[in-house]
Structure 1
Amino acid sequence: MEKKLDKGLIQVYTGDGKGKTTAALGQALRTVGRGYKVYMIQFLKGGDSGELHSVERLSPDFQIFRFDKIKKFFWTLNEEEKADLKKRIDEAFDFAVKVVKEEHCNVLILDEIMGVLSNKLLSIEQICQLIREKPDHMELILTGRNVPQEIVELADYVSEIKMIKHPFQKGIHAREGIEQ
C-alpha cells in the first residue's frame, strides 16, 4: 500500500433507518476515487447484493469479503446454524485483526458489525480492542443498529440514520438494485 491517509478516524453509521451500508459504500467510492485502498468485511450477509457486482467492476483497490453463507435472519436459525455462523464470524473477525495489524488497506469497513454484537457473536471488548489497535493512518467504519456506548466513546463520527417511513410498512419487500 503506497498511499497513506494523513489521519485515520473512526466512523459509525447506526440507527433503524435504511442507508448505513449505503453510506459506508459512498465513503468507499470517494476513497477509491482518490487512489486509496478499501476493504469491506460484510457480516451477517450471504445473499446476492448489488454492491458485490459494482465492486467487481470498479477497481482492485476496493474489495468486499464475506465469510457468512447466511441467507436468513439470525433469530430464524437453529442451534447448528448458529454454531456454524459463530465459527464464520470468528474467521471474519480474525481476518479483520490481520488486516489492521498488517495494514492491508487505508479504509476498513466492518459492515453490520453491530448486528454481530447484538446477537452476542463477538464481544464489545473485542471490537473496542480492534479500534484501539487501528493504525493512525487507517480509517475504520462500523455499521449497524444499536451501537454500544463504549464504541460511541471511541468513535470520531457517529451518524444515526433514523427511519421516518419505510416501504416495508406497506408490504413492499427489498428490491433488486435499491435495497439489495
Structure 2
Amino acid sequence: MLKNGDSGEILAIQKYLPCIDIIEEYPLNRFLFALSEKEKAEEIEKQKKKFILFYDKVVRGDYDMVLLDEACAAYAYGSVPLDMLMELVHSKPEKTELILTGRDPAPELTALAHYISEIKKIRHPYDQGMGAREGVEK
C-alpha cells in the first residue's frame, strides 16, 4: 500500500506472475517520512481512496486470496484508519484469505490473526546511506 510500481515486489509479480491483479491506483511516489506535512496529508488522502478500492473488491468476493502489502505500516503512518482495516477483516467473505503485512500492526488486528510472523531488521543498507538496489528493492 505504501509502494509505487517501481518496487521490486511489484516488478517481480508483473514479470513472473501476470495472473495476479495489482491495484496501482494512487501510487506513493516517495516515502511518507520524506514528505512535507502538506504533501503527507495529500498522500494519506490518496491512500485512503486506494483502500476503499481494495475494500470494495474484497467484500464483493472478487478474490480467494488478498495480500495488502504494508497495510499495517499504512495504519501506523495514519494513512488507513484502524476502523477501516477492522471492518475489512470482519466483512470479507469467509472463503477469502486476507494477508496484511507491515510493521507495527495494531493489537486489535493481531488479536484476530490466525498467523503472525515477524521479520526483524538487524541491519539494512539504507541505514548506511545506500539507496534502492536494482534487482533487490527495485
Q: What per-residue deviation string (whole Å, max 9, x for no partner) do you get for residues 46-90 of structure 1?
A: 251233333333455301112334322212222432232122112
TM-score between the two structures when normalised by the length of structure 1: 0.68
Whole-angstrom distance in 2 between the partners of 1:113 and 1:100: 14
For 2:83, give the aligned amino acid: E
Which of structures 1 and 2 has the larger relative contact order (alpha carbons within 8 angstroms, sep 6+)? 1
Aligned-residue RMSD, C-alpha = 2.0
Whole-angstrom distance in 1 between the partners of 2:10 and 2:105: 25
Whole-angstrom distance in 2 between the partners of 1:87 and 1:169: 29
Query: CA 1:168–1:84 in structure 2 vs 1: closer, same or farther (change >3 Å)?
Result: closer
Aligned to 1:84: 42
- Gap regions ≥5 residues in structure 2: none
Pairing 1:134–2:92 present: yes
> Which runs of at least 4 in structure 1 moved beyond 6 Å after TM superposition?
none
Whole-angstrom distance in 2 between the partners of 1:173 and 1:149: 32
Whole-angstrom distance in 2 between the partners of 1:168 and 1:123: 28
Whole-angstrom distance in 1 between the partners of 2:30 and 2:10: 18
Q: How does 1:110-149 map to 2 (within 5 A)?
A: 110-149=68-107
Aligned to 1:25: none
Pairing 1:52–2:18 present: no
TM-score between the two structures when normalised by the length of structure 2: 0.86
- Gap regions ≥5 residues in structure 1: 1-42
Whole-angstrom distance in 2 between the partners of 1:135 and 1:160: 26
Identity rate of aligned residues, in percent?
34
State the secondary structure of the residue aligned to 2:99.
Answer: strand
